[in-house]
Amino acid sequence: MTAARGLLLHPITMGLFLQSLFLLLGSCLHPAAAFPKGCYPSEEEGLKTFRCSNAQLTEVPRDIPNDTNKLYLDFNQISFLPRDAFRDLPLLLELDLSHNAITRIESGAFQGLAEHLHSLDLSSNRLVSVSKDAFGNLKAKVNLSSNPWLCDCRLQELIRAVELAADSSGGIVCDSSTQEEHVGKAFLQVIADTDFCNVYKKTTDIAMLVTMFGWFAMVISYLVYYVRQNQEDARRHLEYLKSLPSKQRRSEESSTISTVV
C-alpha cells in the first residue's frame, strides 16, 4: 500500500517541482527578454548603465530602464531623434549618440533631460543644420564635432545656445557655407571674423527696402497717371464748352470749374 501511494505521489511531486522551476526561470529571464537585441544593463562606478553600442538599432529603443544613469547608443544606424525620445529617463546623466546616421533632431527631443543630463555626445553623425530649439534648456556639455555642418546663422545661434564639450569645438568644421571661402575651416575660427546673422539681417533689410521702393514707385506712377488723365479730360471738356453758345457756355464752365475744384 505504501509503495503504491509513493508511486502515485511521485508524478505529482515532480510536476509541482518542474512548475516551480519554470516559474523561477521565467521571472529571471523575462526582464532580459524585454531588452532590444544587443542591449544589456550593467553597473559602472556605482551608476546604472545601459549599453546598446553597435546593436544595429535604427531608432531609439523604448524598453530602457527608467532608472538608467548612463546610456550608450553609439555605433548604430539611428537617423532621427523624435520629440520626447528620452522622456522616460529622468535620471539620465550621460547620453552617447555618437557614430550614428542622425540627420534630424526634432524640437523637444531632449525634453525632460535638462535637470540632470551633463554630457551629450552627437559627434560623427550626419547633422547639417539643427535649430537651437531642439536642445531646449539643456545644460549638458555637447559634442557636435565631425558632422557635415552648413555654416550659417542657424549654426551660429546653435553654438551660442549650447555649452560645447571640452576640446570638441575644433571639430566643428564648415562642410558647406553661405560663403564659399569658409568651407573646410573650423566654425569658431570663421565666426571670429564673420557674423553670419548680421549679414543675413543686412540682406533682409536691403530686400525690404527694395520692395518698399518698388511699391512707392508704383503709387507715384499711378498718381501721376491719374492727374494727367484728369487734366486731359478737363481740357477736352473746356474745348467743348468753347464751341457752345455764350450763355450756355458760361453755365457749363461754372459747373466744370466747380467739379474740378
Residues 159 and 50 in one domain: yes
Last residue of a domain, one of 194, 218, 239: 194
C-alpha cell at 195: 557674423
Does pLDDT of 203 surpass 50? Answer: no
Residues 105 and 218 in one domain: no
CATH code for position 118: 3.80.10.10
In order of 39, 56, 105, 201, the CA distances from 97 in angstroms are: 14, 13, 12, 34
pLDDT per residue over 87-129, tens digit each? Answer: 999 999 999 999 999 999 999 999 999 889 999 999 999 999 9
Q: Report how far residue 19's alpha carbon sits from residue 234's, in angstroms, rounded to the nearest whole number.
A: 111
Determine, yes or no, domain membership for 69: yes
Residues 152 and 218 in one domain: no
Determine, yes or no, domain membership for 243: no
Which residue range is the domain that position 63 belongs to?
35-194
In order of 61, 65, 75, 89, the CA distances from 85 in angstroms are: 9, 14, 18, 9
Does pLDDT of 81 surpass 80? Answer: yes
Residues 72 and 116 in one domain: yes
Last residue of a domain, one of 166, 194, 222: 194
Residues 181 and 208 in one domain: no
What total of structural domains would you count in the chain? 2
Strands 149-151 and 174-177: parallel
Residues 122 and 49 in one domain: yes
pLDDT for position 208: 54
Residues 189 and 215 in one domain: no
Residues 169 and 208 in one domain: no
Query: Is the pTM of the predicted complex or chain greater than 0.85?
Result: no
Which helix (DSSP H) or strand (DSSP E) does residue 51 occupy?
strand 47-51
